[in-house]
Chain A
Amino acid sequence: MDTRVITVKPQPAKSMQEELRELASTLSDIVRGIRTAQEPIIESQQKVPQATEQLERITRQTEDATHRVLDMVEHITARESEIESLLKDLKRALPATYFRNNSKAKAVIERIRECAGQNQSAAYDIMDALQFQDITSQQIDHAITLLEQVQSRLQSVLMELAGGTQEEIPAEKRRERAYDPNAHFSTENDKDKQFSVDELVDNLSRQMKKD
């Protein structure tokens, strides 16, 4: 039988207290560290709703402005149509021989008609260009969704740090967003883009008919 005895040197009570104090101080440092880490996360998390609200405001304001422009375009095109019809009335009201004897008046009326037509065409171009609003609002919705994902991740980190005491943001508080993450506005290569789509659609249609 092994009679050897392991002797443990008793630690002085003061040293134990010292160690406990050190441990407490270390724990306190850790807690302080966690708090310090939490602060910027909390701050960042709180800023996300502000950012999304601001982005939503941009969408609403751009939409309002677009509709004001559309109102004006509609008024312009209606007035241009009225000018066309008034010029026809004027021609009808004058004797048939009037323009034969007055080529200057005829040229003026023709020029007015031309200008009215050009104005109307430019107004329609403005209307077509306003499609940008739908496309940029989809881009903004995409950005908002990404921000909301960041907010959720920050919240998970906070929950981990705080031991699950953070309140979760209910999903129903968030608006349902329908957007194309690749939505892109460009008037330069529209025709090329549509041309490629047309080719694909034609090929698919032919293939489907065969099948």
Chain B
Amino acid sequence: MPELKILAVDDSPTMRRIIVNTLKRAGFNDVSEATDGKDALAKMKVDNYGLVITDWNMPEMDGLSLVTHIRGSAELQDMPILMVTTRSVKDDIIEAMKAGVNNYIVKPFTPETLGEKIQQVLKATGRS
């Protein structure tokens, strides 16, 4: 089975570094980074990813708009998406789920939660 290619999208360099390190620790070594939604879409045009992990609050294009773009694209609409954000208000979670995220993690997260949610998302989207 080919290695899962993950795109980690977050405007915070600290968070990107922590997410990449946590993913590598969990055995996911093929991880690319994007600084916001626009950057992510540009990278997704060039490379094939098996999972997108995205933050919500980002300049230029936020995570919610990124999810909407992905779900509206014929080529990318089936992409598994995991949202990792500080937003924990019920209405925000409902909005994100309606926009099309497959699962939702609240920051600060534990490595166990990230690993568990990745497996759940991949299983739910038939990629595991």
Q: Which residues of A are at the interface with B, using a C-beta cutoff of 8 A?
A: 63, 66-67, 70, 74, 124, 127-135, 137-138, 176-180, 182-185, 187, 190-191, 193-194, 196-197, 200-201, 204-205, 208
A-B contacts, 18 listed (Cβ < 8 Å): A66-B14, A70-B17, A127-B18, A128-B111, A129-B108, A130-B14, A131-B14, A134-B86, A135-B86, A138-B86, A180-B56, A180-B57, A187-B108, A193-B106, A197-B88, A200-B94, A201-B93, A201-B97
Residues of A within 8 A of B97 (CB): 201, 204-205, 208
Report the bound CA distance from A93 to B111 in whole Å.
35
Residue of B nearest to A190 (CB): B108
Interface status of B79 (Cβ within 8 A of chain A): no
Cβ A70 vs Cβ B14 within 8 A: yes
Report chain B residues within 8 Å CB of A129.
Answer: 108
Q: What B residues does A130 contact at CB under 8 A?
A: 14, 18
Q: Which residues of A contact B111 (CB under 8 A)?
A: 124, 128
Q: Are B85 and A180 interface neighbours, CB within 8 A? A: yes
The answer to whether A138 and B25 touch (CB under 8 A), given A128-B111, A131-B109, A204-B94, is: no
**B-chain residues with CB within 8 Å of residue A134 when the two chains form the complex:** 10, 12, 14-15, 86, 107
Given the complex of chains A and B, what is the CA–CA distance between A135 and B108 in angstroms? Answer: 8
Residues of chain A within 8 A (CB-CB) of B22 are 127-128
Chain B's nearest CB lies how many Å from the CB of A205?
7
Contact A124–B12 (Cβ < 8 Å): no
- Chain B: residues with Cβ within 8 Å of the partner, total of 37
Give the docked Cα–Cα distance between A14 and B106 (Å). Answer: 80
Q: Using Cβ atoms and an 8 Å threshold, which residues of chain B touch A204?
A: 93-94, 97
- Choose among B62, B87, B89 the residue with the greatest number of A CB atoms under 10 Å from its CB: B87
- Interface residues, chain B, CB within 8 Å of chain A? 10-15, 17-18, 21-22, 25, 56-60, 62, 85-90, 93-94, 97, 103-111, 113, 124
Q: Which residues of B contact A196 (CB under 8 A)?
A: 88
Docked Cα-Cα span, A205 to B62, in Å, equals: 23
B88, B104, B108: the one contacting A131 at CB < 8 Å is B108
B90 contacts A200, CB within 8 Å? yes
In the bound complex, residues from chain B placing their C-beta under 8 Å from that of A135 are 86, 107-108
Knowing A124-B111, A138-B86, A180-B57, say if A197 contacts B14 (CB, 8 Å). no
| B108 x A178 contact (CB < 8 A) | no
Complex formed: what's the CA distance from A66 to B14 in Å?
A: 7
Which chain B residues border A124 with CB–CB below 8 Å? 25, 111
- Given contact pairs A70-B14, A128-B18, A201-B104, enumerate 16 new A-B contacts (beta carbons under 8 Å): A124-B25, A124-B111, A131-B107, A134-B14, A176-B59, A178-B58, A178-B59, A180-B86, A183-B107, A187-B108, A191-B110, A194-B105, A197-B104, A201-B93, A201-B97, A208-B97
